[in-house]
Amino acid sequence: MPKKWYYLCIFFTASLLLLAFALAPLFDNRLHLVFCDVGQGDGILIYQKQTQILVDAGSDAKILSCLSGHMPFWDRRIEMAVITNADLDHYGGFIDIVRRYKIGAFAANMVGKNDLAFETLEKEIEKAKIKTASLNSGMIVVFAKLKLAALWPDKDQVAGLDTPALGSKVLGARAEEKANPYSLVLKLSYGEFDALLTGDIIPPATDTMAERIRGVVEVLKVPHHGSKNGLTLGMLEAASPGLAIISAGRNNRYGHPHEETLGVMREMGVKILRTDQEGEIEIISDGKSWQVN
């Protein structure tokens, strides 16, 4: 075979493989739940076919590599972005995302912070003319077969923060106290598969919210990066997960995850995976069975 034909064959074979890789998501009906490796923070990509939902985005641009690894190069739209918590390690990466992707809507608990990074994100959202919406307990968001149900916080709790002194802005009122008690907690459902995404919720809100779980979940995102003031025995018993995911940074200065929290899960026989040890963790489900990829 002449050399030029040999190289042409290689070129066309490579082109076909790239095309097949790019089109694969169109023929994949399964749910993909990806816990991105964003260091010390949370960043969770949920996608099914061409529907993408991003729950939190870490503190910086690390989240971009996770998106590019799972979204086709030609798909630059994220249907919904969700901020569970107004701490930088949950929303910081959205600043870069808003500048590079089209976002259908932003949803949050509408409890913001008075800091420069949060205000920068709000300005970018305004500039891009992205719709914003409040999410609180009882509300359900549906995208085709994907369902996100908000279990926490309650509307009246957040409304009480929206005073003239604090003001109401793009992503809500400014809280003078810690943001964790108001952290969004979401239950993701796809067929018979359920995952509990807990943000940074802390006691006593953890046990109050646990009463609303209503049934076993397959996957639990351990609250507050596995700290000792996040997960409670009440939540663990209510959720009874098959797998617990901890999103934390390697050798982080907070000592997350805490040994006490790990011990509670081990005693209940819950399998644990950690982004500080495993890196990115992907769970795939057809709505009945599920597996860790």
Q: What does DSSP say about strands 51-57 and 219-221: parallel, antiparallel, or unpaired?
A: unpaired
CA angle, residues 104, 70, 19, in degrees to nearest 5: 105
Q: What is the pLDDT of residue 168?
A: 46
Structural domains for the chain: 29-286 (3.60.15.10)
Q: What is the pLDDT of residue 113?
A: 84
Q: And the tokens for 1?
A: 């075979």
The 10s digit of each residue's pLDDT in 78-123 is: 999 999 999 999 999 999 999 999 999 999 988 888 889 999 999 9
Q: What is the pLDDT of residue 166?
A: 41
Q: What is the pLDDT of residue 3?
A: 63
Q: What is the pLDDT of residue 163?
A: 46
Q: What residue ranges of the chain have pLDDT lower than 50? A: 16, 19-20, 163-168
Q: What is the pLDDT of residue 5?
A: 59
Q: What is the pLDDT of residue 114?
A: 84
